[in-house]
Amino acid sequence: MDTDRLAEQLKKWQTLDDLYRYFSTETRCRDFLFRVFYPSGIRCPKCGGIIVYKCGRTYHCEDCNHNFSVTVNSIFHSTKLPLRKWFAAIWLLTNNKKGCNACMLSRELGITYASAWHMRQKISRSMPQDDKPLRGTVQVDAAYVGGLLRWIATNRHNSNPHNYLRNKVSVLGLISDRLILKAIPDDKWHSIRPILERYLDPNAVVHSDSGKEFMRIDKELPNLHYICDHSKGQFVNDGISTNKIEGAWSHLKRQVKGVYHLMPRKHSQVYIDEFVWRWNNRNLSPSERIAAFFPNAKVKITWKEIEQST
């Protein structure tokens, strides 16, 4: 089912209460997933057979005798939680401006913290960034994002005042008509260049601040490059600005500080992807936003994949 048709069906969902009233039973949840995941008819996930019979809540393939559920090979694969709670979690994560942490999901849904964390990870990993190169005028900047360690700067045993960065993640941001954020090992040119080459159209015009790493764009990339020198008090210089990407940094840092409180390096890109997905869909209505999410849910994510991710 395409996103526009799905959004048309879900247009009456404006609140979480609307969602709960619509999905009053588990059967309605499964019927909804069937329409989303199999708009052209169901096929066996094992052999691809089209002779499939419904047997209660499961389906049976006549060709290979395989039994499967409508949730197979999706983020709901083998879940023991009611689908209503999954849908409520999706609503909270996609429609809360700064996201929703596992503690909040645990309280609101009445599930354990471990289940809420696992659920949040799967939903967040179903919010991919668009990998198409950016065109037109692209603002580029880098920032450190992560939790606060207030005691480090005043610790008398601390010999290096820059250790406060040890719990933060370097992130490179590019923005034009949409936002792209990528976690990088450090803010050096050897880490920045591959991302710029991948996500900048050769004809894009780059605006950046006067950071020394960005000075190499003129020499090593084909893009036109203009600088807004913040050290000279310039924030808009003849139309050259980085204010849009600075606004994105502000929202991301408020999300980490106010909701998640820290951003583990191991899962940093997951938190960033979740933020970028909401940012790029911020102009959609709640029903359109959740309709844009569900097609991405048809991917199997295991606990082992989550734990081994870096």
Residues in the chain: 310
**Which band of pLDDT confidence, cut at 50, 70 and 90, is reported for residue 38?**
confident
**pLDDT score recorded for residue 277:** 95
**Cα–Cα dist 228/241, whole Å:** 6
Beta strands in the chain (DSSP E): 52-55, 58-61, 67-69, 137-146, 168-175, 179-184, 205-208, 224-227, 236-237, 240-241
What are the structure tokens assigned to 245, written together? 């990407």
Mean pLDDT over 19-27 rounds to 86
**pLDDT score recorded for residue 310:** 47
Instruction: Choose among 140, 141, 101: nearest CA to 264.
Output: 101
Mean pLDDT over 100-113 rounds to 93
Phi, psi of 222 (to 5 degrees): -80, -5
**pLDDT score recorded for residue 250:** 93
**pLDDT score recorded for residue 14:** 76
Q: Is the separation of the CB atoms in 72 and 267 below 8 Å?
A: no
Instruction: Choose among 293, 296, 294, 300: nearest CA to 72.
Output: 300
Write down the mean pLDDT value for the chain. 86
Residue with tokens 């090979």: 73
Phi, psi of 290 (to 5 degrees): -70, -30
* 6 Rama class: left (phi>0) / alpha (psi -120 to 50) / beta: alpha
Q: Is the separation of the CB atoms in 179 and 274 below 8 Å?
A: no
pTM reported for the whole predicted model: 0.86
Mean pLDDT over 234-262 rounds to 87
HEC string of 104-156? HHHHHHCCCHHHHHHHHHHHHCCCCCCCCCECCEEEEEEEEEECCCCCHHHCC
Mean pLDDT over 290-303 rounds to 88
Q: What angle do CA 285, 200, 184 make, to 5 degrees?
A: 85
Q: Is the separation of the CB atoms in 105 and 120 below 8 Å?
A: yes
Give percent of the chain above pLDDT 90.
41
**Which band of pLDDT confidence, cut at 50, 70 and 90, is reported for residue 248?**
very high
Q: Which long-range contacts (CB under 8 A, 24 or more apart) does 299-304 make?
A: 299/73, 299/74, 299/75, 299/126, 300/72, 300/73, 300/74, 300/75, 300/77, 301/75, 301/77, 301/121, 301/122, 301/125, 301/126, 303/118
**pLDDT score recorded for residue 264:** 79
